[in-house]
Chain A
Amino acid sequence: MPEFITNLLPDVVLQYIQDWGLLDIGAQHIGLPHFLIVGAILFALGVFAIITRKNAIMVLMGLELILNAANINFVAFSRFGGMNYDGQIAAIFVIVLAAAEVAVALAIILNIYQTYKHINVDEIVELKK
């Protein structure tokens, strides 16, 4: 932290930064919880997209965010949690399943668009007319 910033901050704030480890961002400090928290935030963003968006493709993007959050956790546990390659292979299978899921979901969405001329999930109540 540069000198001119630390001169501006009061001592109490510096003490808090020290106690909470807010600036412990070296390689020896960044561990499992940091990556898990990034995954948690990504998961929350995906849940938000799935709940609030009306467009079916936006719901699909939220689903992708959730799958990626799970993947980050798998790879983080394979690095730090002793899963050691098993977590990475689980991540590979998640990627494969995501590819298959997106292909089928987009095919269904295209079919719905040909039927309804829109893909608003609030108004679609049946797959055929």
Chain B
Amino acid sequence: MEQIPQILNDLQSNVDFYGIVFIMFSALVVGSGLMTVLSKKMMHAAVGLLFTLFGIAGLYALLAADFIAITQVMVYIGGILTLIIFGVMLTSRVTDIERKTDAFASVSNTAGVAIGIACAAFLSYVFVSTKWLEIPVATIPDGTITQIGTLLMTNYFAAFIVAAVLLLIAFIGAALIARRKN
């Protein structure tokens, strides 16, 4: 057991700022994701989703994807989450009545827990046991916006146009569907 002090030395040298920030953002994502999934009140779930999305933006920043992180904060937290909160407020009553559910509710809960744990375990096993061909990008770029903009205007131009048309059609369709018909 004389190698134990060497182990302690290794442990101390293996922890640094990047790792601590990664652990913090991962704990934020998983913890508030659990809050989203498990909370009974819809507004609490929406707040949990907010922190989940913010933690994911932090993970993008750790992965040197600054534009995706900013897009995540602006589109998801600023747009999609606002829409979801409006949906929660427009579809919930003042007194939250317990809806009647079918007899299979508890079965559905058990099956959900089992399938969720099975999903997480199987995917984690596959991700850990696979020998990935890891080619980290050689130099972390100063910013990715220029490269992403160039690629969107050259290689991915068709997909860019199609996405723009799809967004237009989706929002016109959403406005038509949501309008009350008399």
Interface residues of A (CB under 8 A from B): 1, 6, 11, 14-15, 17-18, 23-27, 29-38, 40-49, 51-55, 57-58, 60-62, 64-65, 68, 71-72, 75-76, 78-82, 84-86, 88-89, 91-93, 95-104, 106-111, 113-114, 118-120, 122-123
Q: Which of B8, B88, B175 contacts A107 (CB 8 A)?
A: B175
The B interface, classified by DSSP as helix, strand, loop or mixed, is helix
Q: In the complex the two chains form, what is the Cα distance from A71 to B34 in whole Å? A: 19
Q: Which of A15, A61, A98 contacts B46 (CB 8 A)?
A: A61
Q: In the complex the two chains form, what is the Cα distance from A86 to B147 in whole Å? A: 10
A112 CB → nearest B CB, Å: 9
Residue contact B16 to A75, C-beta cutoff 8 Å: no
Does B37 interact with chain A (Cβ within 8 Å)?
A: yes
Residue of B with least CB distance to A22: B11
Residue contact A40 to B127, C-beta cutoff 8 Å: yes
B6-36 vs A, CB cutoff 8 Å, 1 = contact: the mask equals 0110111111111110110010011001101
Does B116 interact with chain A (Cβ within 8 Å)?
A: yes
Residue contact B65 to A75, C-beta cutoff 8 Å: yes
B55-91 vs A, CB cutoff 8 Å, 1 = contact: the mask equals 0100110011101100110011001100110111011
The A interface, classified by DSSP as helix, strand, loop or mixed, is helix
Does B142 interact with chain A (Cβ within 8 Å)?
A: no
Q: In the complex the two chains form, what is the Cα distance from A23 to B46 in whole Å? A: 33
B161 CB → nearest A CB, Å: 12
Q: Which of A38, A80, A85, A88 contacts B134 (CB 8 A)?
A: A80
B33 CB → nearest A CB, Å: 5
Q: Which of B59, B76, B90, B163 contacts A113 (CB 8 A)?
A: B90
A22 CB → nearest B CB, Å: 9
Point out the residues of chain B lying under 8 angstroms from A23, CB to CB.
11, 14-15
Interface residues of B (CB under 8 A from A): 1, 4, 7-8, 10-20, 22-23, 26, 29-30, 33-34, 36-37, 42, 45-46, 49, 52-53, 56, 59-60, 63-65, 67-68, 71-72, 75-76, 79-80, 83-84, 86-88, 90-91, 99, 101-102, 105, 108-109, 111-113, 115-117, 119-120, 123-124, 127-128, 132-137, 144, 147-148, 151-152, 156, 159, 163, 166-167, 170-171, 173-175, 177-178, 180
Point out the residues of chain A lying under 8 angstroms from B83, CB to CB.
102-103, 106
Q: In the complex the two chains form, what is the Cα distance from A103 to B49 in whole Å? A: 17
Other CB < 8 Å A-B pairs besides A46-B37, A95-B68, 7 of them? A6-B11, A24-B14, A44-B117, A61-B45, A80-B132, A81-B135, A107-B175
Point out the residues of chain B lying under 8 angstroms from A91, CB to CB.
65, 68
Residue contact A30 to B22, C-beta cutoff 8 Å: yes
Residue contact B99 to A54, C-beta cutoff 8 Å: yes
